Amino acid sequence: QISEAEVALFSVPSYACQRRTTRDNHNSNLTDALSLLAENAELNNEDGRGVAFRRAAALMKALPTQVISMSQLRGLPCLGEHSLRVIKDVLENGVSSEVESTKQSKRYKALKILTGIFGVGAKTADRWIREGIYNLEQLRDSGQTLNRAQKSGLEHYDDLNEPVTKAEADAIGEIVQKAVDSVLTGSQVALTGGFRRGKLTGHDVDFLITHPEEGKEVGLMPKVVAWLESQGFLLYQKTTRNSYLESKDGPARPASNMDRFERCFSIFKLTKGKEQESTQPEEQNDLKTKDVLRPHMQVDTDQQLCELSKNYQMEAASHKIWRAVRVDLVVSPISQFAFAVLGWTGSKLFERELRRWAGHEKNMSLSSHALFDNTQNKYLRATSEEEIFAYLGLEYIPPSERNA
C-alpha cells in the first residue's frame, strides 16, 4: 500500500506548447482511452468534446511517471469532469466502460472503416451510415457515386491503412528531392509532419518545398507534380491553391504574398524493398515497370488453366512490387518558410495550442504563413522556428518534443 504522501504530485503547465512531450508515454493505458474518445467525438463532428479529450490525453502523455492513483492528479490542468471519470474507470477497473462500449458500437466501427477511405470525412461517412452502409462491401454494392479521391482511396484501401515506415518516408524523400532538382535547381525539401518529430511510422509523409530566392518557388508545384507523373510515381494527385484568406486559422490580416501557398495531396506508387538500399535512379525506373515473372508451364485442360491462373494471381499479389503511400507536398516562399515548417511539423494538438497561446496570452495571430502582433499592429519576421518561439515568449521546444 502506497500512502498519499509517497505519491508524486505533478506540476504541468496548461498549454501543450509549454511542455516537452517526447515519444515516451508512461500512461498509454490512459492516453489510449482518452484518444479513442477524442477520435469518436471528432468522427461525430463534436469538435469541442474532441479537443477536450485531446488536451486531457496530451496532459497524461506529458507526465514523467505512471499514474496509479487519482490523488496524483490533484491540481492538474486540462482534466475535465468527463476525462477524470474515464481515468478513474481505467485506474480502478483496468478499462473504461465508455471506451469499451464505444469500440463495440456498430456506428463507431462503421465510421472507422468508412473514414479509413482516403477522401472520406466524418460527414460523408455519416450520410452513408444513414443510408445503411457500414462497410466497404456495402459501399461497393450501394452504387454510391465516389469522387476521384474516394475511388483511389477505395482502390488502395489496404496499402493506405498500413503504417508508413521511416525507411519508406526516406525513399519517398529521395524521389521528391530528385523531382525538385529536376525542375528547379537550388530548391530545398524538408521532411515535416510526424517523421520530423521522430515518429517511427505515420499515416502519410509530409514535405515542405521552398527555394532560397523569394519568388522562384512560384509555379513550382505543377512542375514537380508533372515530373513525378511523367516518371510514373503518382497514383493520384490533387493540387490545391492553399486559399489562405479562407482558412479558419489564418491571422486576422493576410500578408501580401500569401496566396502563393500550394498544397498537393497525393498517393505515391513506391517500389517495395528499394527503401533499404541506396537508390540508383535508373534501376528504380527499371523496377517499377518490371512485372511478376510467369512460370513457364505446359497447360492441357481448362481446369489446369483455371488453377494456374488462380495461383498466378495469388503469386502476383504476394509479390506485389510496389505499394501505395499517402504523401502531402506543400510549397512555401522562403519568407514564410519558418512559419510553414513550424506549422507542418505538428502534432496537431501542439499546433492548436501554439495558436491558442499566441491569441490568448500574447494577443498575436499565428498561422503557417506568419505571426501578426495585434498590439503593435505588425507582422513579426522570422527565419527560424527558434525566433518564432522567442516572439511568443515560449521556451524553444524541438520537434522531437512536440509529440503532444
328 a catalytic residue: yes
Contact letters (x/-) for ligand GTP, 205-244, by CB under 6 A? -x--------------------------------------
Number of C-beta neighbours around residue 9 at 10 A: 12
Exposure string over 205-227, b if 16+ CB within 10 A, otherwise e: bbbbbbbeeeebbeebbeebbeb
89 a catalytic residue: no
Quick check: 385 binds Mn ion (CB under 5 A)? no
Measured between alpha carbons, how far is residue 302 from residues 142, 306, 308 in Å? 34, 6, 10
Name the binder of 102 from Mn ion, ligand GTP, none, CB < 5-8 A by kind: none
Helices and strands: H and E segment counts in the chain? 17, 10
Q: Which is nearer to Mn ion, 194 or 250 (CB)?
A: 194
**3-state secondary structure string, 371-383?**
EEECCCCEECCCC
Quick check: 385 binds ligand GTP (CB under 6 A)? no
Q: Which of 170, 249, 259, 328 is catalytic?
A: 328
Q: Which is nearer to ligand GTP, 60 or 191 (CB)?
A: 191
Contact 209, 170 (CB under 8 A): no
373 a catalytic residue: no
CA dist 220 and 216 (Å) reads 8
CA dist 298 and 313 (Å) reads 18
* Residue indicated by cell numbers 490533387: 238
Among 26-34, 99-107, 180-188, 202-210, which window interacts with ligand GTP (CB under 6 A)? Answer: 202-210
| 17, 335, 368, 372: residue in contact with ligand GTP (rule CB under 6 A) | 368
Contact 77, 12 (CB under 8 A): yes
Give the distance between the most distant pair of CA atoms in the chain: 85
Q: Which is nearer to ligand GTP, 71 or 243 (CB)?
A: 243
| 39, 42, 168, 206: residue in contact with Mn ion (rule CB under 5 A) | 206
Contact letters (x/-) for ligand GTP, 319-358, by CB under 6 A? ---------x--------------xx-xxx--x-------
Q: Which of 126, 204, 291, 302 is catalytic?
A: 204
Catalytic positions, please?
204, 206, 328
Contact positions vs ligand GTP (CB under 6 A): 193-194, 199, 202-204, 206, 328, 343-344, 346-348, 351, 368
